[in-house]
Amino acid sequence: MRGQIILSHGFDSSPDATKVSALAALAESLGWHTQRPDYRTDDARGHAGSVAPRIARLRATIESLPEPPVLVGSSMGAFVSGLVSLDVPVAGLLLLATPGEIPGYARKFDLREGVPALLIHGWRDEVCPLAGVHAFTARRRLSLLLVDDDHRLGSSMDMIAAQFRHLLDRLAVAA
């Protein structure tokens, strides 16, 4: 086993969502162990109300592991993964369709400096405006891959999978 990957689904989605399922299958085929927390009960609290319980659930999952995991998140899952990386060690981040903020939640998006991270966002994202994540990545000089896609990134899954594989290969070499 190469290491642990925790994949966090978006708001009003599930651990069986298309993106996290496809990325989990890819990671497992490369020898990684994956987990997909179920945030559906947290999401019943609404957008802003779900953030703190999601953070607590993800932190508890990470703290039960023997080594820092790679975090993968989509939308709300990306937002929470970034914030959790500020508090507990993580090996890397792949963040998809990341919101710059959650209306009604006090903190804006952030992530730990120095952690290998790739953010992927659709030019036509109608849910999470590009401006927020673009400004964040520009300030921090982080990699942001923009694709001609909407919030679901459904037309970009092959490219996302290739980028994920590249990130995992880099992390395996560094380990």
What average pLDDT is seen over the chain? 96
- Percent of the chain residues topping a pLDDT of 70: 99
Q: What is the pLDDT of residues 79-126, one digit of tens each?
A: 999 999 999 999 999 999 999 999 999 999 999 999 999 999 999 999
Structure tokens, 161: 């999978």
pLDDT of residue 154: 96
Q: What is the pLDDT of residues 59-87, one digit of tens each?
A: 999 999 999 999 999 999 999 999 999 99
Cβ atoms within 10 Å, residue 156:
20
For residue 30, pLDDT over 80 is answered with yes
How far apart CA 174 and CA 63 sit, in angstroms, is: 22
Q: Which domains does the chain have, with CATH numbers?
A: 4-174 (3.40.50.1820)
How far apart CA 136 and CA 98 sit, in angstroms, is: 10
**Cα atoms in the 13 Å half-sphere on the side-chain side of 61:** 24
Amino acid making up residue 11? F
Q: What is the mean pLDDT of residues 143-163?
A: 97
Q: φ and ψ at 104, to 5 degrees?
A: 90, -10
How far apart CA 90 and CA 124 sit, in angstroms, is: 30
